[in-house]
Amino acid sequence: MLLPPVAERSGPNVYSIAAHRGFADALVAGLIPRYAEADLGLARLTLLLPSRRAERIVTEAFVRLSGGGLLLPRMAVVGDLDLDETLGPLLDPLGAGSAVPPAADPVRRWLRLAELLRTELGKDAPKAPGLLRLAFETARTMDRLAIEGIELGDLLQERVAGIVGDLARHWQDSTRHFARVQAHWLAELAVRGEVDPPVRRNLLFDHAAKRWRDAPPAQPIVAAGITSASPSLARLLRTIADLPNGAVILPDLDLNLDQATWDGLGLAGVPAEPGGAPFGERDALAHRSITSSCC
């Protein structure tokens, strides 16, 4: 996959690597001739990847294809929940994220959720080991809802109850228990001026997207292999695709889909219509904000 010069492309800079090709090798084979410089190599490039595993595989591909010594690009992982030591300074440089509240300590949240669950469940609360496991899973659920931008009220809608069938009553009761625990926890966070880690992550993504839109960075930024359905991450990817020196590279996405197919998938932020594409597929594609303007 060789990336053409930006001047040859109109609309968002979105590219695809076919499924039958090794993604890491094809990615690196396109990045080296496009961004390598005589003195600095690829060091000016920022490469956003979905996971630590992807970072390791791409690094190995650079070693295989470099043909000698090569300064690697700055690689940062955006798919993991925690902002690592590379991504944190990239999205939250000193002083730039001061408007974003700090994140609550995960261990403190875990233990506090266990206390809230014990109070909520009363005599039905499990013993300490089970209660801690339940608190851990509750925290994971809260994180997943926050990452994907799902409101708790969405889980109580009739269309969701219809999916679970005979378990609908149990689903609704459990969701109400969860909602009360979450409400207590969020109230405590508001008093302390904190937010949950994934909420801060979303705010930093939005903060970076706005900053890059207002003042596009001089150095190139490429996001590769990121297929998360997180709306905040999708907005960041759209911003990167619109940057003069930005690009988004996706695995096995047909950029030649006809207009009717794109219309069937929908637009970013528009919920799936009844009878439309399956929610997961439609949501993941729609949230990437890639419409026919990419083609």
Burial class (CB in 10 A: 0-12, 13-18, 19+), 123: exposed
Higher per-residue pLDDT: 204 or 38:
204
Q: Which of 235, 198, 219 is nearest to 47 (CA)?
A: 219
- Is a pLDDT exceeding 80 seen at residue 190? yes
In tens, the pLDDT along 67-88 reads: 777 888 988 888 766 555 556 6
Confidence tier at 252 by pLDDT (50, 70, 90) = confident
- More confident: 257 or 252: 252
Residue 41 is encoded by which pair of tokens? 């190599």
Over 70: is that where the pLDDT of 168 sits? no
Residue 41 has pLDDT above 80, yes or no: no
- Tell me what the mean pLDDT of segment 107-118 comes to: 95
CATH of domain 6-99+202-253: 3.40.50
Mean predicted confidence (pLDDT) in 141-153: 83
Share the mean pLDDT of the chain. Answer: 78
- At position 66, the amino acid (one-letter code) is S
pLDDT at 282: 39
Q: Pick the residue with more confidence: 4 or 15?
A: 15
* 50 SS3 class: coil
Nearest residue to 132 (alpha-carbon basis) of 155, 109, 105, 98: 109
The mean per-residue pLDDT over the stretch 13-40 comes to 86
DSSP letter assigned to residue 151:
-
The rounded distance, in Å, linking the Cα atoms of 31 and 15 is 12
